[in-house]
Structure 1
Amino acid sequence: MMNVMTIGGYKAVLSFDTELGKFRGQFVGLTGDLVFEGTDIAALQNAGELALEAFLAECERSGAAPTQLFTGKLTLNIPTQVHEAAAVIAAANGVSVEQWVTEVLEAAASSVIGPLQ
């Protein structure tokens, strides 16, 4: 199960570290590797807010962009049978493989993080 938390408009993926007995969060889509921890959800949220605030302040101070640029281009290497199946399904739905893959990825992403903007 994937758990995602939004902090300050940025998405973070959450997990639980059984060895440390702590929740762990990692922001996705930032130019730096920003990880935070907490013993409960409230502490995790607070740690994420503090980490993000410090990261954004450092980006502003240094003039660095805080977020990664997503171009909309994605190169995949998939098994040939998956490629063939995608082509059949796309054709059966009257769309290109690219359009079908886009729809599948959008539906999967929306089910985890909510509607895409």
Structure 2
Amino acid sequence: MINSLFCDGYTASIYYSPADEVFFGKLIGVNDLVTFEGTSVEALKQGMQEAVDDYIETCRLLGKSPEKSYKGVFNVRVSSDLHKKIALLASQYNVTLNDFVKSVLQYASSHQEIGAEVFGER
């Protein structure tokens, strides 16, 4: 299950604390730690809207970009067996390993239901 909320192009991961009886969230993909909370779903949504608005305004006043920048380069560690399998598959399709992985990631990102199949309920 994806526990997320969306607001004005921003995404937040959402959690529930049974001890405090409160929902809380954290904006993801931003340069700073931005959190919010609420005791109901509506209060949580309102808290996110306020957090997003405040964060955008603060970034504007500071002259900085709110969104985290991504270089497009990251390391992925896999087993040697998986490395061999995907390298062989890539060569069978006459593409580089990098292009093969990019294609698989692009496919997965446009078919989000795959996440439920692969990761199930967590």
Quickly name the TM-score band, shorter chain normalised: 0.7 to 0.9
Deviation at 1:84, TM superposition (A): 1.5
Other-structure match for 1:35: 35
Other-structure match for 1:14: 14
- Please tell me whether residue 62 in structure 1 is matched to residue 54 in structure 2: no
Deviation at 1:101, TM superposition (A): 1.6
- Please tell me whether residue 2 in structure 1 is matched to residue 12 in structure 2: no
Deviation at 1:42, TM superposition (A): 1.6
Deviation at 1:32, TM superposition (A): 0.5
Letter in 2 for 1:39: T
Give CA-to-partner distance per residue, 1:58-90, whole Å, 9 cap, x none: 111111221111121122232222211221232
Larger radius of gyration: 2
Structure 2 residue runs of 5 or longer lacking an equivalent are 114-122
Letter in 1 for 2:74: L
CA distance in 2 between partners of 1:86 and 1:20 (Å): 46
- Please tell me whether residue 99 in structure 1 is matched to residue 116 in structure 2: no
Deviation at 1:50, TM superposition (A): 0.4
The secondary structure found in structure 1 opposite 2:75 is coil
Structure 1 segments of 4+ aligned residues over 4 angstroms from their partners = none
The secondary structure found in structure 1 opposite 2:59 is helix
CA distance in 1 between partners of 2:77 and 2:83 (Å): 9
Q: Percent identity?
A: 25
What TM-score results when the alignment is normalised by the length of structure 2?
A: 0.76
Structure 1 residue runs of 5 or longer lacking an equivalent are none
**Structure 1 pair 102/78, CA: closer, same or farther in 2 (3 Å)?**
same
CA distance in 2 between partners of 1:70 and 1:26 (Å): 19
Other-structure match for 1:85: 85
Q: Matched residue pairs, number?
A: 113
